[in-house]
Structure formats: C-alpha cells, structure tokens
Amino acid sequence: MPKSNRKTAYEIHVYWSRISNAYKLVKRNGNRERLNSGEQKIKINFLRSLAVLKKTTFLLFRFRSSEHHSLPKSSLQPKLGSSPSSLDLDQLLDDANEVGEFHATNNLPNTYAEVAENSFRQNRRFQLGNSSSENKSPGPSRIDTDAFGISELSATMVMEAEFNNTPVERGLTHELSPGLGTKGRCVTPLEGNICGTILDNRNIHKFNTNENYIENGDLSDENVKGDIVANELASCSRERRLRKPTRRYIEEFLDSKSEHNKGRRKLPRKDKYLKVMSTEESYHIRHEVQMMPRSDSQCGTSVPVQPKSERRHPNKHVPVSGFLSEDESSATECKNVYSSARRCKKYDRRRQKMWTLTEVMRLVDGIAEYGTGRWTHIKKHLFASSPHRTPIDLRDKWRNLLRASCVNIQNKKGVEGKQTHASRPLPKSLLQRVYELANIYPYPKERGPKSVKAITPPMDLIESNSLSFNWGRKKYE
DNA sequence: TTTAGGG
DNA sequence: CCCTAAA
C-alpha cells in the first residue's frame, strides 16, 4: 500500500507542478481582457485540468501530513510549500469560476466543444507516444515567440490526458477505492484520510461522465451539450470554491505553510505571550465561532480551560488564501468527529474566558504586591502559566472588580443590591479586599485616590439616593 | 512597548 | 474582550 500511494502521490505532485507551470504561462500571456479563440482554448483547457487537479490536491496534503512517513517528505514538501504560494490560488480558483460562469452565461459552447474535441485528440496523441515529453513544460522563451501555440496547448492537454486516461486517475480511483467503499473510514490512517476526505466519488464521476460524453463523439448538439458541460464545470468549481475549509484542513495547511509565512507579516505585539497563530487561522476561527451555536454549557463557566489558546488578532479581514475546500459532508463529519472537548477548545478560543476564583485571587494578590498599573509585572510573575491572560486582561478584570466591589459596598451601606451579576457572585471577602486595595492603589480615573474614592461610591449612592429621594418626593406629591 | 480609557 | 491614543 505505501508503495502505490507513494507512487500516486508522486504522480499528483508532478501533475501539480505541471499545472502550475501552465497556469503561470497562461496567466502571463492569456490573462488579458480579451482573448482570441486560441487563447480561450488554452485557458479553458487549463481550467478543466485545474478542476481535475482540485480533486487531488487534498491528497497531497493528507499524505504529507499523515503519520506515514513512508514517503520521503523531501519529495513532496518543496512542492507543497512552493506551489500554493507561488501561485495565487485564490485568484486561480476565482479565475476558474469566472471562466466557467463566463461560458455558462455567454454561450460559448462551440469553443468548449472544440476544445473538448481537441482534448480528445490530444489525449489520443499522448497515449500513442507523447508520453516522453512528460516532464517538459514549455519554457518561457518559447512562449515569447509563440504565445499560444501548440506548445501550451499540448502542455495542458498532456496534463489533462494524463489525468483522464492514464495511471494517475486510475491509480487514484482504483488503488484507493477500497477506502471509499468501506464504511469505517479510517481503514488505515492513510487510506482512510485520502479516500474519506479527498476523493469525491461523485465529482469524479461527474467529471468522467463529462469526458465520456464528449469522447463518445456525440458532439452533434454542440450548442446544447457544450453548454451543459460548461455549466457543470462552472458549478463544479463554484461549489468547491464556496465551501469553507474544515478546521482540520486549515490546521494542516497552516502547518505545511508555516515556514512560508514567516517573514510575511509581522505579528502584533500582543502575541508576545501567546502562541503564534496566523491570520488565516484567526479568520477561520472567527467565523467558526460565529457559526457555532452558543451552547457553552460545558465550556462556558469557571472551568479553567488551559488551552494553548491564542487571541488578539487584530486583522479580521484577511482573505482566506486557502484554495482547497472539502466537501460539506466531510466538513460536517469533521464537526461530529471532533469531540466536544475539542469543540470546546475551539470555542473558547475567541470567547471570553471566565475568570476563576483562583485567578481573581491571584490577580488581587498581584495587585497587592505590585500595585496597579504594573500589569505586565503581574502577568509575568503570577500569570505566567495562563497564557490566555494578557496584561490588558488583568487590568480589565481589575476594573470590573472595582466596579463589583463598589456595588457591594453599596449593598453594605444598605441599598438593597440587586446583584448585577447574579451569575457568579464573588465572595464578599474578596470584594472587600478589592476595595481596600483600591484605596491603596487607586486605579487612575476609574476610582480615584481615596478622596476621590470617597466620592465615587457615594456617587453611586447619590444616584440611588436621589432616585429614592425623587421617588419619595413623587410619593409625597 | 506598555498603559489608560472607551466601546 | 477589542481597539486606539498616549506615554
């Protein structure tokens, strides 16, 4: 098994690199607004190849990140690392959609049918004896002279041919199909991963039927059928594009990409205490959190989660640069697969982490020791073990504590306190201590020095007093 | 880079 | 908890 998979993965890897080259060429020469028919052919062929490629790219990532190290990583990793970033894959996929839609809406079936026919012929040619040119991708010099000549055409054709009619796809569908058929997904870690999440039987079928459809020579109704094919192609790429990558994929992708991102963007300083998380992940997590139902019964309150949690990622609008998307089925399945604990973890990542009593006490101790305004000290010395509490958090918490203590002071003074937060009442002793500390270490402006402080709680009191007073007066009226 | 303060 | 201005 390892051997065949290894072979398959390598073939895909080769395939990918070729299509990358083709894309670069096309992009350089054929991304103009108006393309002549020859250029259109090139582009369409490329996009068709791309659609096939998309089915298999997951395989590379799965394979690479699987526990199996039977495949020498060196053979895959360079490509994995370089390909997605050297190509702007998002752009690429958008192009695919764009062209698909363009053809779907603009009635260019003839072109497509012709292309299909050409493809068919080229396939034949390739099968007959073109395979020797396997690794030759047309060089730039050649393109300069012959921007959209046969060289490129054959390049994309060869790729396509390889995929539809040659061991690559056969290898994929046949060598790995056992996993597809089996219900228990992970027959073996590798096979299960590959077959469960990468290969989409339905789409492969779809694609194959398209191909057969054309190859059968049934091109009499080119207008109609070309249209159908174009539509299918468009929808195929569209639906794949729109799907949200699963968390698992994101993680793996980021893993594989992490080296690449190194110099790309400076991380915000706030991550000093935190594990580095790339903006993409942040983006996804944001959205995941938004999408998740808010059932935080398990993970919400007072359970001191110790996630290697990260946060404070200022840029929300970083576009997803992921170019792959999994099936919805696998996406939902992913959600199910991941245990509630894991979900919880994911959950807490962007949500407020409740302060536990011990944390509060530690904070109070820290303030007693260092005073207010030295939040980094407190963080370093007392919260070194809780990476999710930043100095700012400590300060915020202290602010809230002050507020809470004042409320309770009010209560002390007789105003019947409706405990503003009945959810997690703090022990009075603690609040008392907060109050004392607030006198010792006045927090700037929030509650001033003692004199001011003497004013502030009364201010609250005054408010309520005046309220009651007014009320009383009204009563008298 | 840290803190204060507002949202 | 986030963001930003100011120190």
Concatenate the DSSP letters of all residues of A295-337 into one string.
--TTTSSS---------------PPP-------HHHHHHHHHH
Please tell me whether any atom of strand B lies within 7 Å of the Cβ of A458.
no
Closest CA to the C1' of B2: that residue is: A376
What's the CA A281/C1' B2 distance, rounded, in angstroms? 27
CA atoms of A326 and A125, how far apart (whole Å): 34
Strand B neighbours among A 28-67, CB < 7 A: none
Q: Is the dihedral of CA A36, A38, A39, A44 positive or negative?
A: positive
- Cα–Cα separations (whole angstroms), residue A143 to A92, A149, A153, A278: 20, 8, 11, 38
Q: Which amino acid is at A7?
A: K
Nucleotides of C under 7 A from a protein CB: 1-4
**Phi, psi (rounded to 5 degrees) for A40:** -60, -40
Q: Could you list the pLDDT tens digit for every one of the 477 residues in chain A?
A: 555 566 666 666 666 666 666 666 566 665 555 666 666 666 666 676 666 666 666 555 555 555 444 444 444 333 333 343 334 444 544 444 444 433 333 443 333 334 334 444 444 443 434 333 333 333 333 333 233 322 333 333 333 333 333 333 333 333 333 333 333 333 333 333 333 333 333 333 333 333 333 333 333 333 333 333 334 334 433 333 334 444 444 444 444 444 343 333 333 333 333 333 333 333 333 333 333 333 333 333 333 333 333 344 433 333 333 333 333 333 333 333 333 333 333 344 456 677 888 888 888 888 888 888 888 888 888 888 888 888 888 898 888 888 877 654 343 333 333 444 446 677 878 888 888 888 777 776 544 333 333 334 434 333 333 333 333 333 222
Closest CA to the C1' of B4: that residue is: A444
Q: Where exactly are the structural domains of chain A?
A: 2-242, 264-350, 357-476
CA atoms of A31 and A39, how far apart (whole Å): 9
Please tell me whether any atom of strand B lies within 7 Å of the Cβ of A376.
yes
CA atoms of A56 and A155, how far apart (whole Å): 19
Q: Give which of A372, A354, A371 is closest to A426, Cα–Cα.
A: A354
CB A198 within 8 A of CB A58: yes
A357-476 adopts what CATH topology? Answer: Serum Albumin; Chain A, Domain 1 (1.10.246)
Q: pTM value?
A: 0.30
Q: Which residues touch strand C (CB under 7 A)?
A: A 311-314, 316, 350-353, 388-389, 392-393, 396
What's the CA A335/C1' C2 distance, rounded, in angstroms? 28
What's the CA A392/C1' B3 distance, rounded, in angstroms? 8
Please tell me whether any atom of strand B lies within 7 Å of the Cβ of A452.
no
